[in-house]
Structure 1
Amino acid sequence: MHPRISAGQTSFPDASLAQLAAYWRELQPQRISFVSPTLLAEPLTAVQQVLQDGAYKVETITHVFMPGQQLSPDEASWQQPRARLSQLIGIAKTINARSIYLLTGGHGALSWEQAAEAFCSAVAPCAAQAKAAGVSLLIEPASVLHADLHIAHSLRDTLALAEMAGLGVCIDFFACWTEAGLRDTIDRAVPRCDIVQVSDYVYGDRSLPSRAVPGDGVIPLQRLLEWVLIAGYKGAFDLELIGPRIDREGRVPAVARGAGKLGELLQVLGA
């Protein structure tokens, strides 16, 4: 597997730590990523053993900041999410994870600006903690169908929120490839970017998740990869492959094939 590709846990939903370890042994990545429920539930020693056995670098951790909650100016609603994220930052530091990327919490009844202000206030102590710990705290763009979990549904809005909150950015091609002025936004985002997520989309797919193996769909991946590389991105590319197409093929074969295609593109581009 190309050394800049990360085999993300998001491609293996519901897998146990032992199952993940088996998948990674088969795929042989140098870089991996986790979802936060695994790290918050498993003994840290067990996680460290998996990392030691595979000599893996942890690129990022996916975290829903306010699961089942809507953003609110009520400070009492922030306390448990803050405590959970603070715990996760400590774990991330211990396992040398480069970043944590967030879904913010849902829109609720607030305007975007009000919700953004509430999120910035809620996450501020954790942002300071992460900076001190050397862990990048990021925001990603996500589909509007995740409005119960998140308020940033384009790379432009994600970047605006990150600038407000003093956070970094995760660029997810699946969520932003259709945006106007995307290259300019990528140029602005890359200095704040610590992970790029890669998958593909096939015209006609209507459900979520509906991701495809890189090369099977219509996202202009080579162009987008070239843009982020020219903008100066030096980090990893995390595969996030979920949905019916992935399930039909099998998750390990789909990730292996996607890593092969993505690796070919990165080699062509000199990465």
Structure 2
Amino acid sequence: MHRRVSLHQVAMVDRETGPFLDFCGEIGVQHATLVSPRLLQTRELHAAREAVQHGRMAIGCINHPFALHPDLARDSGTAARDLMQVIDIAADLGAPSIYLITGGRGALSWEQAAERFSELLAPCREHAARQGIALLVENASPLTVDIHIAHTLPDTLRLARLAQIGLCVDLHACWVEAGLREKLAEALSLTGLVQVSDHVPGDRTTPCRAVPGDGAVPLETILRDVLDLGYTGLFDLELVGQRIEAEGAAQACTRAARTLSDLLTRLGA
């Protein structure tokens, strides 16, 4: 398996962290993205720590929901407090980055919500820098407007610059945008993670991800551009939705990892 393939834990939400990391090892995937709500449970953090200490797996990133309950408009500091704890966990596990779901805007305009996100995040930036952890914000489907404010790649780059953090580029959310190569060229200097999945035209539920190669996303072209533009990080498979469930997460993840590995090898990554 190509060393730059990573698998996101969201693909197997029914498995605890230990069994999920065991599965990654079984199929040859060397990196994983873990979700913070599970790592905040002592037993699951212990399982992740054990896998890392025994060299079975490297944690490439942690996914953390920031101001979800309450939203950005109503948060009183809880979001920053929780993120401080996750930063310490990332440092403990050797994870180089944490990518954030911002939280919904509440009654705020986009600009107000972006300023509020930056303000709430401010106490965490210095702590993350001291620990050597990069904070990232992802672009996400506009159907997630209840929990996130950054959707197009330019808007997400604008938010990242305002908040003085990096980017997690989710190709599933931006592959249809005009001038994608030019947008990627501008964004990749701040990008700490690139997420990969496919989309089958006609799927309108959310989430609606597919195994790479099963849909219409021109992944070979996009990944060639990403590599040519100098990206040197991981490619994270974020697989979730009805197609993944119907096939079975284990089989879908195995197929996806092999397909992405072969593609990266062919592209000379």
Interval containing the TM-score (normalised by the shorter chain): over 0.9
The aligned amino acid for 1:191 is S
Alpha-carbon distance in 2 for matches of 1:124, 1:15 = 34
Equivalent residues in 2 for 1:108-257, closer than 5 Å: 108-257=106-255
1:98 aligns with: 96
Q: 2:63 aligned with 1:62, yes or no? A: yes
Alpha-carbon distance in 2 for matches of 1:260, 1:21 = 17
The aligned amino acid for 1:166 is Q
2:80 aligns with: 82
Alpha-carbon distance in 2 for matches of 1:46, 1:258 = 25
Shift of 1:162: 0.2
Q: Identity of aligned pairs, percent? A: 46
2:19 aligns with: 19
Taking structure 2 as the reference length, what is the TM-score of the superposition? 0.96
Q: 2:19 aligned with 1:40, yes or no? A: no
Task: Tell whether the 8 Å contact from 1:27 to 1:252 is kept in structure 2 after alignment.
Answer: no
Task: Tell whether the 8 Å contact from 1:6 to 1:32 is kept in structure 2 after alignment.
Answer: yes
Task: Tell whether the 8 Å contact from 1:201 to 1:210 is kept in structure 2 after alignment.
Answer: yes
The aligned amino acid for 1:212 is A
Give the 3-state SS of the residue equivalent to 2:158 in structure 1.
helix
Shift of 1:78: 3.6
Alpha-carbon distance in 2 for matches of 1:257, 1:62 = 23
The aligned amino acid for 1:240 is E
Task: Tell whether the 8 Å contact from 1:60 to 1:97 is kept in structure 2 after alignment.
Answer: yes
Shift of 1:54: 5.0
Q: CA RMSD in A?
A: 1.3
The aligned amino acid for 1:108 is G
C-alpha distance after superposition, 1:76-116 (max 9, x if no partner): x2411111100000010111101100011102111110000
1:50 aligns with: 51
Alpha-carbon distance in 1 for matches of 2:178, 2:36 = 32
Alpha-carbon distance in 2 for matches of 1:108, 1:206 = 25
Alpha-carbon distance in 2 for matches of 1:45, 1:245 = 32
Alpha-carbon distance in 2 for matches of 1:176, 1:65 = 22
Shift of 1:177: 0.4
Task: Tell whether the 8 Å contact from 2:21 to 2:32 is kept in structure 1 after alignment.
Answer: no
Give the 3-state SS of the residue equivalent to 1:139 in structure 2.
strand
Alpha-carbon distance in 1 for matches of 2:183, 2:21 = 36
Shift of 1:11: 1.3
Give the 3-state SS of the residue equivalent to 1:32 in structure 2.
strand
Alpha-carbon distance in 1 for matches of 2:121, 2:71 = 14
C-alpha distance after superposition, 1:189-215 (max 9, x if no partner): 111111100000000001011100000
Alpha-carbon distance in 1 for matches of 2:238, 2:118 = 27
C-alpha distance after superposition, 1:217-248 (max 9, x if no partner): 00010111011111110000010111111111
The aligned amino acid for 2:48 is V
The aligned amino acid for 1:208 is T
Instruction: Return 164-173 or 40-49, whichever deviates more.
Output: 40-49
Q: Size of the alignment, in residue pairs?
A: 268
Give the 3-state SS of the residue equivalent to 2:40 in structure 1.
helix
Task: Tell whether the 8 Å contact from 2:103 to 2:149 is kept in structure 1 after alignment.
Answer: yes
